[in-house]
Chains A and B, each alone.
Chain A
Amino acid sequence: SQQGEEDPQALSIQEGENATMNCSYKTSINNLQWYRQNSGRGLVHLILIRSNEREKHSGRLRVTLDTSKKSSSLLITASRAADTASYFCAMRTGANSKLTFGKGITLSVRP
């Protein structure tokens, strides 16, 4: 079963706009990670946020984590056509090394 649920399922924006994607989860986590997957390719790690952190930045990416609401958001600022991909949140629960992924969000950035 998949613990994470992303919202929305699909997002279409114009180049230059910001994209916000949300992830909700069910049980306590050790850390939460966001990955990107281009069509026909493997997943690429974007950013990791630990359960004791509330916000992290990496370039044009900003991730927030609200453990009280069991939710996280990924913000991509000034989007580019190359950001078109599927985005997944993944949870690592406690000392267990498994990653549990959501179903993903399909982001389309129109040139």
Chain B
Amino acid sequence: GAGVSQSPRYKVAKRGQDVALRCDPISGHVSLFWYQQALGQGPEFLTYFQNEAQLDKSGLPSDRFFAERPEGSVSTLKIQRTQQEDSAVYLCASSLGRTGFGQPQHFGDGTRLSIL
């Protein structure tokens, strides 16, 4: 079956613009995660959904970052008034179960965001 799909793969925006990044998780996966990965670093947690409920958004760096998953499947990460430090790869992952009990996460290939 299809894996986690993210779009666009690359996004270039000017500082101050708003961007929206999309994630299509594996069908039937309850949990969905967003991560930010800077060059040469490991992914950093941003937010977590269980179905449509956003259970943890503690990793969102500022109130410019907003994520939603209104129908419990597709998720969108929105960044308002982008700044250069927002440049990174944004990774989405999904897992089958509701919690972290031995559930591997399945990652998409990410969206590489460049802010000019």
- Closest residue of chain B to A94 (Cβ to Cβ) is B100
Tell me the number of A-to-B contacts counted with CB atoms below 8 Å: 68
- Closest residue of chain B to A46 (Cβ to Cβ) is B104
Bound CA span A88–B43, Å? 9
Q: A101's contact among B31, B43, B55, B110, by CB below 8 Å, is which?
A: B43
| B interface, over-half SS | loop
Chain B residues closer than 8 Å to A33, beta-carbon distance? 104
Bound CA span A4–B107, Å? 19
Number of interface residues of A (CB under 8 A): 27
Whether B41 and A42, one on each chain, are in contact in the complex, defined by CB atoms closer than 8 angstroms, is no
A100 interfacial by beta-carbon distance below 8 Å = yes
By a beta-carbon cutoff of 8 Å, the part of chain B in contact with chain A is: 4, 31, 33, 40-45, 48, 55-56, 59, 91, 93, 99-102, 104-110
By a beta-carbon cutoff of 8 Å, the part of chain A in contact with chain B is: 2, 4, 30-31, 33, 35, 40-45, 48, 50, 88, 90, 92, 95-104
